[in-house]
Each structure stands twice: as structure tokens, then as C-alpha cells.
Amino acid sequence: MPNASDPPRTDDVSGQPRPLAAGGRPLTAGVAMLATAVAVVSVLVGGLLAAVALTGHVFGAWRSPESLTPGLIGAAMLGTAPGLFAVSRARAWHEVRSLVHPLAVVLVGLFTVSLLNAGQLYIARGGSIVPVLFSLGWLFVLGALCVCALIALALQYLTSGRPLGPRGAPLPGWSKPALAVLGSAWLGIGTGLLVRPGFWADFVPWSVDRPDAQALGVWALALGVGVLGALAEDDLGRTGPALIALPGTAVAVTVVLACRAAAVDWSSGPALCLVSMVAGLLLAGLSGRVLLARSSAV
């Protein structure tokens, strides 16, 4: 249990006091540095991909049949960046693992997808100098970050810690079924796109090829891991950075979908499901922030 002399913990964003979760592993410098580095890369690369997609042009590490897919990948990178920046302000591993685990999924997944589809990269197929250099940088940076993520996580789990204390702000019971459905939906769709892209690509309501389908699957899988991870934590105080990343991702994805709405078959069932799932991310993140603020004020 925390001592009376312990300083009150503050919320990563608002600065308002919130319950102190005792025990656990301290956050290592490696994880904090990894999250910050990925956040910087996400702002630069994600911003570029999203901005180019909004103009209707196709740009990425491989040739995509539609600009919407690289735009959504860039939007997801941009949306998660604020949450990743917040990781460095945490002191304990259990406060950030609901976001760092999905981060590892994205890094390892996108690097693996890029290797599996190496023949589709501009560096292999050729083209103008800009996309060729971008694909080379994409592969190199992803590989370096992937290795750093695995090392940082291994060192984090080798760090000794104390048993966690009681949860300070448990999730309300009414939210758990909705989070389970939302997380399972993202997880299931992401797994399908990764394992059987040829089949599941037909359920994407715009034109995609194999690399597009698998890259989207990586992000869907990571979102599912994040939502279900937050559900497993069952403590709003342990999901601060994730509660920033969820609505940020939903808003960024919504902007790209709205600007490239003509490319989407909105009359299809998958389009309706996508809208519901993106709205679920937004509601989960915003309601989590509100509930956390209320629990801190008590």
C-alpha cells in the first residue's frame, strides 16, 4: 500500500490527482525511449501518408490500388502518436502496457508483412526515385524499431517488481460486454486479413491487394489487442496512454474516410461494420477519459 508520504499521482493529460497504483514493475528507459521514437516517426511518416492520400494520390512503400489504404495506415500512425508520447510520463509498466503491447504488434506485424510481400515493394519493382527511397527507408526503419521493441520488452519483463496493489478505478460493469465485443471484432477481422488476405480482402469496402489487406489486418489486430488488454487490466488508471490513442486513432481514421468517401462502398455491410467499430473506439476512449476524471475527483 502507498505510504502517506508518497506524492499523489496525477493524470498524464489533465494533471488532476488520480489513485496511485502500488507495486508492479517500474517503467524502463528503453520502453519510454522506444515509444517516443515511434511517436516521432508516426507523426512524420503518418502525416505524410495521410496528407498525400487526402489529395487522392497513391503513395506508400508498395503500389496500392487505392489511396485510401495508405491514408488509413498514416491516420492510425498519427492517431496513436499522442498516446505514445504520454508513455514517457508514466512511472510503472502496468500503466502503459495496454498501449505498448499493441505497439509491438504493429512493429513486428508491419515488418513481417513487408518482408512477406517484398516483391511488391517499390525497391524491388522499381519506379521513380521518391517511392523507391521511401520503401527502402520504410523497411529499414521498421526493422530497426522491431528489433528495439523486442529488446526493450525483454528487458522490461526482466525488471524485478512488486505485486500490484488493488485497482484504483475499476471499469464499470456495463462497459465490459461492449469492450469485449469491440475488441473481439477488431481482433477477429485483423486475424482474418493477416492469415487469409485473399478471402477477407473481399470484405473490405474498397479496392485492396494482398499487402494492403495484411497491413490493415496488422492495425486491426493491434486495436483488438489494445481494447482487450484494457479490459483485462480492469483499471482506468492503468490505461491512460491507451485512452489517448483510441479516440485519436478514431478521429484521424474518420477524417481520411470522410475525405476519400467516394472510394468506399457505403451500401455494403462491411462499411456499416467499419463505421460502428470506429465509433466504438471513439466512444471507448472518450468515456474512459470521463470516467477516469470522475474517479480522480472522488
DSSP 209-263: -HHHHHHHHHHHHHHHHHHHHHHHHT-GGG-HHHHHHHHHHHHHHHHHHHHTGGG
**Can you tell me the distance from the alpha carbon of 220 to that of 174, in angstroms, rounded to the nearest whole number?**
24
Beta-carbon count within 10 A of 78 CB: 26
**Can you tell me the distance from the alpha carbon of 69 to that of 203, in angstroms, rounded to the nearest whole number?**
14
With left for phi above 0 and alpha for psi between -120 and 50, is residue 121 left, alpha or beta? beta
pLDDT of residue 297: 63
Q: How many CA atoms lie within 13 A of 177 on its CB side?
A: 2
pLDDT of residue 2: 40
**Can you tell me the distance from the alpha carbon of 203 to that of 216, in angstroms, rounded to the nearest whole number?**
12
Those residues of the chain that have pLDDT short of 50 are 1-21
Q: Are 217 and 194 in contact (CB under 8 A)?
A: yes
**Can you tell me the distance from the alpha carbon of 200 to that of 216, in angstroms, rounded to the nearest whole number?**
11
CA angle 138, 33, 288 (to 5 degrees): 95
Q: How far is CA 281 from CA 18, 116, 189, 217, 272, in A?
A: 23, 29, 15, 16, 15
Q: Are 222 and 235 in contact (CB under 8 A)?
A: no
pLDDT of residue 109: 97
